[in-house]
Amino acid sequence: MSKKAIITGSRGIAAGLARALNQRNYEIYLLGGEEADSALLAKECSNIVGFDSIDLRNESQIEAAFAQAIAKLNGLDHVVSIVGGSGRSFGDGGIEEITKSAWDKTLELNLTTAFLTAREAIKYFNFNGSGSLTLTSSTLANSPSPEHFKTHAYAASKGAINTLVKTLASSYLDKKIRVNAVSPSLVATPMSARAAANPIIKEFTSRKQPLIGEQLPIDNVVAGYIYLIENSAVTGQILEIDGGWSTVSGV
């Protein structure tokens, strides 16, 4: 089985996935994220062959980093795009409050990073034959929570990722290039620290994600990425891992 993977990110879900793939004997190259986190992860995981803490919004940087990663891995079979995050610090919120600058920055962080990562992955797979690309969406794209997560630019960026998955999966099916996404709800990562520390949101989470009763453990979400990476019969899918979020109404 093919076992050469690029992962974007260095902490949270990305770190959990790197550890899991390391145990499955994948060779891994990390792109983006924080250099210190990547360095620590590389010391922990013997199959991480390199990392480059580039800005994944920068076109020239990502082009060069992909070339370097592919050379170091001596090929490429799987690309997983995880880097992204909240746009609250930019001013994301209700659409009537969002400045164009906040909109642009939030989409750059979530959608542009996914686009550039997907483009470089597809370019390689299209020329070299087959591969899998897994993007990262969010349950907020389809199951909004306006009381606590009124972040319209973020939701729009993740909705666009869902559309990208469907169109790319269809366009490259004949080349056996598979494109999917994992769509998690609240996960216990550094990005969700604000929600975890808020007692009101904590109580909301216990009711909205009743299968777990709290923020999702990273391992639950990592299992979804592994399924999409390794199941050669799956493409064009948005895999919801939400602890029941999308089935609970009135909360």
Instruction: Give yes or no: 154 in active site.
Output: yes
Which residue type occupies 52? D
What distance in Å separates the CA atoms of residue 249 and residue 251, rounded to the nearest whole number? 6
Give the per-residue pLDDT at 194: 76
Q: What are phi and psi of 54, to 5 degrees?
A: -80, 170
Domain at 4-244: CATH architecture: 3-Layer(aba) Sandwich (3.40)
pLDDT mean for each 10 residues of the chain (251 residues): 89 97 98 96 97 98 98 97 96 97 98 98 95 97 93 98 98 97 94 82 94 96 98 98 93 80
SS3 46: coil
How confident is the model at residue 182, as a pLDDT?
98
**CA–CA separation, 100 vs 243, rounded Å?**
34
User: Which of 26, 29, 124, 154 is the catalytic position?
Assistant: 154
Handedness of CA 31, 37, 40, 46 (dihedral sign): negative
Which amino acid, residue 6? Answer: I
